[in-house]
Amino acid sequence: MAKVTIDRGVLNIDLSLLDSVLAFHGSFHIPLSHVTNAYVSDLEDLELEHNRKGAKSGLRKSIGVFADPQGLIFVDVGEGDCLVVETRGERFPRIAVQLSEGDPNALAHEIVRAIPDGGPVIDD
């Protein structure tokens, strides 16, 4: 699980201590100028193919670095909806995390609104 916040032009994705250990990766601090999109998905729709580093415990939780049809993706996702952040100029082109609190759809809209020159977001 992750806590995701926006602070002073930076998207902070803070992983829990256990997830950081399992994923062999700490938290992320990404300038909003490197974020290109944010949306909601679920584990099945991510189409994870190969586990590069980390842990996958069946259908209940996947955490670590995976390959998918679009390249590398960092994943910390269990059952249900997750937040997916697309980036440029960062180690991972996509990062998918399950939120420890809050609505992933509302947060995705907030991130897209905060992207410099991101344009308007149309709420459903």
15-74: pLDDT as tens digits: 876 765 555 567 899 999 999 999 999 877 777 765 544 444 444 677 888 877 777 888
The per-residue pLDDT for 48 is 72
Please say if the pLDDT value at position 114 is more than 70: yes
Over the stretch 70-84, which tens digit does the pLDDT of each residue have? 778 888 888 889 999
96 in Cβ contact with 80 (< 8 Å): no
Higher pLDDT, 98 or 48: 98
- Dihedral pair phi/psi, residue 22, rounded to 5°: -65, -35
* pLDDT of the residue at 64: 80
